[in-house]
Chain A
C-alpha cells in the first residue's frame, strides 16, 4: 500500500515520501549523533491536523480534508487512515471505506498561514532551511549545535514549539544526509523523532524495501523486481553495471549510491537572509580612527565567521558610523566578487570609513554589514589573476576557517585577527579582556 500525502501537491517532496516503510516503528538505531546535522521536519497529516487545531470537537474522529472541487482526499487524520483512507484517493472511495468520516472543505489560505509560522519556527533554529513544500523542510543544524545543543535536543525543541504554537504535531528525522533524514522522519511518524546515526545508516537502509529509495516509483520497482531486487540490501549488493542495465545509466549509479547512504546534496536554503551585519558601540566615544578601524576589523571578522557558518557569501559591504551627535552615516561598496573572508570585508569597510566626513566629531558606534548574500556552495567566483596564480584569498579563507574551529572549541574570544586586539582592555567586555591576548594554543 502506498500513501500519497496530498499536502505535497507541488510535487517536490513526493518522490521519497511515496516510499513504503519497513515495519520498524519504535526501533532505535542508536544515539550517536556525530555528523548527524540534517533534520527533516515533516508535519503530520498537515491539513487535517490544522483543521483539528481549530475544531477540537473533531478530535478522535476520522476527519477527511477534501473538496467537492476535484473530489479527492487531500489529507486525513490517522483515525481515518486506520480505515484505509489515503491522500489522493477519490472522495467517494474514501467514504465507502469510512462512511462515518467528517469531511471538511479545505481552506488553503489558512494552511499557508500555518505553514508560514511553522517555517519561521524552523528558521529561528538556523538560516539553513530548505523548504520542500507547505509541510516539510530540511534543516542543517551544524551551526546551531553550539547554541542549541545536540540535534535530538534541537528536534525536540522544534516539535514542542510547533505543538505549542500551532496545535499540530510534526515528526523529525535526523541523519547525516538529506535522503536518510527523510526516510527517518517517515519511520518516526506520527508525532515522533528518529535518529539514524552515521554508523547505522547502512544497516538502516538495508532493512528497507527498495521502494523506499528516492526515485524508485512503481515502474522502477517492477524493473528491479525482474532482476530479483526487492530490498535495498539486494540492490546494494548488486553490481552497478547490472543496475545500469536494469534502470538506465545514471539512475543505476544513483540508486547504488543511495543504497550505500551516499547523498552529497547539501541543505540549500530556499530563502536566505539578504544581509548580515554586526555593530558595536564604544564605551567612550573615539576620536582616534585607528581604534575605530581596530573595532571594524573585529566586526568584519565576526560577520565573516557568521557568513561561513551560514554557508553564504556577500557582495556589498556597508559601513555604518554614528558620531557623538547621534548623526548616522552609511556608505556601501560593491565588491568585485562575493566574499566570506573577513580581511576582504575589513579592507572595503576601512576604505569606506576613510571616505566618511565625520566633521571632526568622535565616533560613538561603528557597524559593518554584508548585503547581496548568496549561497556560497556552487557560487561562481571570479578570481583575480594573482589569486589564480598563487591562491592568496583561498589561503586567507582557510586561515579564517581555521579560526572558526578554534572559536568553536575555545569560545569566540579565543582568537581573532591581529589588530582588533589593539583596542584597550576593558573595552571588549569582561569575557574578552583576559583571554584576548592569549595565544591560540594553550
Chain B
C-alpha cells in the first residue's frame, strides 16, 4: 500500500473518523482506524466501536492499493502536527511509514483481518438541511440526561412524520422539543428512532456544515440503525432500545400567565445573579407589571439581585429555577425574546422564542422546565 495525500485533507478526515474512538476499547483493534487505499484515487478511513461507525472518503494519489489498521488516536495527532506539505504513506512489512517534508514517523500496524465489518449504510429515507439539523440537535440535546444509568434518557427521540421531524429529549427535569422540516423520500413516512444524544451531537456538528445531510434508517430488521451522510462522510449508530416515556403530554394545555423578556439581557443577568447561587441553590425570578426581578442567595449567604424590563400578561408570579437548567434553555432558544408561560409557581414553565416583545410566540422549539420548590 502506498499513497500521497494532502496534509489538511488527511488531518481533517482522520480527526473526524477517530473522534468516536473509545478511550478504553473493549478489543485493541477497536482503537484503530482502518485505511483503505483504492486504486481509483480514493482513501477510505473507518472506525467502529460496535455501536457507532464512521467512514470518510477523501481523494488521494494511490500508487499501490492496500488496507491497513493503525492507532486512530496516534494517526490523528500526528497528522494534525505535520507541516503543511503532501503526506506520503507506505506500508513496509508490519509498519506504516509516514513522511511529510523532513518529518518521518513509523507506526505499528494491527491485524486488519481481525477488524470487524462495518454495518452497511441503511436506506436513505430523506434529506435535512445541515444548518437546521445542527441547530435543532443542539437545542434538544441540552435537555438529554448525562446519567448513563438511565440509558433511555441519554437519547434524543426523533419522530419522522411526513415532512416534519420532531426531536425530543428530557432528563426528567426539563424537556426540549424541536420540530423541523425535511424532505422525506416518501411523504407518508412514519418512523421513530432513539439515538444517543452524544452521538447525534457529534454527527450534527461534524456534518452540519456540509450542506444537506442524508438520513438513513433501518428499523425492525434485527439491529436498528440510523445513518447520516454528507460530503463523503458516513456515520451509523445503533438505535437505543426501549419505550420512551410519553412526555409530550407534559406540555401544559393552557397557560394563564406569560411573560416576555429580552433573551440576551436575561441570560446576562441570570449569569451575574447566579454567581452567588451555590451548587443546587436556585435563582428566583419574580415577575410583576413591567419587570422581572432576579435574585439568588439567602440568609447568611451572599445575595444578588437584578431587575429587568419584562412584559407580563396575567397575575404576578414568582418561580425559582436551577440556574444551569435556566441558562441551558435560554441559551438554546436563539431568538431575541423569550416567552415564559406559567400555570402555577410549582408547575413546569414553558420557554418559547419570539422576535419582538409584543410578537407571536414561535412554537417550533419548546423548552419545559420544572421550577425548584422549597420543602416544608
Does B172 contact A381, Cβ atoms closer than 8 Å? no
Give every chain B residue within 8 A of A379 (Cβ-Cβ): 374-375
Shortest CB distance B87–A (Å): 46
Chain B residue, CB-CB nearest to A391: B346
**Is A377 in the interface zone, CB < 8 Å from B?**
yes
Tell me, in angstroms, the Cα distance from A377 to B281 when the chains sit together. Answer: 14
> Closest residue of chain A to B247, judged by CB?
A385
A153 to B204: give the CA distance in the assembly, Å: 70
A381 surroundings in chain B (CB, below 8 A): 372-375
In-complex Cβ contact of A385 among B173, B322, B376 (8 A): B173
Minimum CB distance partner of B149 in chain A: A351
Q: Which of B172, B245, B247 has the most CB of A within 10 A?
A: B172
Instruction: Establish whether residues A385 and B370, one from each chain, have CB atoms under 8 Å apart when the complex forms.
Output: yes
Q: Give the interface residue-count category, chain B.
A: 20 to 34
Please indicate the chain B residues that have their CB under 8 angstroms from the CB of A242 in the complex: none
The interface residues of chain A lying within 8 Å CB-to-CB of B247 are 385
| Contact, CB under 8 Å: A388 / B376 | no
Chain A CB within 8 A of B170 CB = yes
Q: Are A383 and B373 in contact (CB under 8 A)?
A: yes
C-beta contact mask, A358-385 vs B, less than 8 Å → 1, else 0? Answer: 0000000000000000001111111111
Mostly, the A contact residues are: mixed
Is B186 part of the contact surface with A, judged by Cβ < 8 Å?
no
Interface of B, helix, strand, loop or mixed by DSSP: loop
Select from chain B the residue with minimum beta-carbon distance to A351: B149
Please name the residue on chain A nearest to B376 by beta carbon: A377
Q: Digitize B247-263: 1 where CB-to-A-CB distance is under 8 Å, 0 elsewhere.
A: 10010000000000000
Decide yes or no whether B347 CB sits under 8 A from chain A.
Answer: yes
Number of interface residues of A (CB under 8 A): 17
A388-B173 Cα distance, complex, nearest whole Å: 9
| Min CB gap B234→A, angstroms | 36
Expressed in whole angstroms, the Cα–Cα distance for A41 and B305 within the complex equals: 38
A313 CB-CB contact with B under 8 Å: yes
Residues on B with beta carbons closer than 8 Å to the beta carbon of A382: 173, 280, 322, 370, 372
Q: Is the CB of B174 closer than 8 A to any CB of chain A?
A: yes
Contact B370 A388 (CB under 8 A): yes
Q: Is the CB of A385 within 8 A of B175?
A: yes
Interface residues of B in 157-180 (CB under 8 A from A): 170, 172-175
Tell me the smallest distance from the CB of A376 to a CB of chain B, in Å.
Answer: 5
Q: Determine which of A336, A377, A388 lies in contact with B348 in the assembled complex, contact meaning CB atoms within 8 Å.
A: A388
Q: Does B72 count as interface, using CB distance less than 8 angstroms?
A: no
In the docked arrangement, what's the CA distance between A431 and B182, Å? Answer: 68
For residue B320, CB closer than 8 A to chain A, the reply is: yes
State which residues 147-175 of A face B: CB under 8 Å.
none
- Bitwise interface map of A from 297 to 324 toward B, beta carbon under 8 Å scored 1, else 0: 0000000000000000100000000000
Is residue A386 contacting chain B, with contact meaning CB distance below 8 A?
Answer: yes
Residues of A within 8 A of B372 (CB): 380-383
CB <8 Å contact, B282 and A385: no
A389 within 8 A of B: yes
**Residues of the B chain whose Cβ atoms lie less than 8 Å from the Cβ of A380:** 280-282, 320, 372-374
Name the one of B172, B174, B322, B373 contacting A386, with C-beta atoms under 8 angstroms.
B172
- Are B149 and A385 closer than 8 Å at their CB atoms? no
Chain A residues whose C-beta falls within 8 Å of the C-beta of B173 in the assembled complex:
336, 382-385
A348 to B: closest C-beta gap in Å: 10
B318 to chain A, nearest CB (A): 14
B142 part of interface (Cβ distance < 8 Å): no
B276 in the interface (beta carbon within 8 A): no
Near B by CB (< 8 A), chain A positions 205-261 give none
CA distance A388 to B348 in the complex (A): 7
- Contacting residues, chain A, for B375 (C-beta < 8 A): 313, 376-379, 381
Contacts A336-B172, A336-B173 given: A385-B374 contact, CB under 8 Å?
no
Q: How far is the CA of A389 from the CA of B371 in the complex (A)?
A: 12
- In the bound complex, what is the Cα–Cα distance between A381 and B373 (angstroms)? 5
A376 to chain B: which residues have CB within 8 Å? Answer: 375
CB distance from B333 to the nearest CB of A (A): 19
- The answer to whether B281 touches A385, judged by C-beta atoms less than 8 angstroms apart, is no
Contact A378 B376 (CB under 8 A): yes
- Give the interface of A toward B (CB within 8 A): 313, 336, 351, 376-389
Instruction: Enumerate the 9 nearest inter-chain pairs by beta-carbon distance, A residue then B residue, closest first.
Output: A384-B172, A388-B370, A379-B375, A380-B372, A376-B375, A385-B250, A380-B282, A383-B370, A381-B375
Apart from the given pairs A383-B173, A385-B370, 18 other A-B contacts in the complex at a CB distance below 8 Å: A377-B375, A378-B375, A379-B374, A380-B320, A380-B372, A380-B374, A381-B375, A382-B173, A383-B370, A383-B372, A383-B373, A384-B172, A385-B172, A385-B348, A386-B245, A387-B370, A388-B370, A389-B347
Can you list 8 A-B contacts with CB-CB less than 8 angstroms, sorted by A residue number? A378-B374, A380-B373, A381-B373, A381-B374, A384-B173, A385-B174, A385-B247, A388-B346
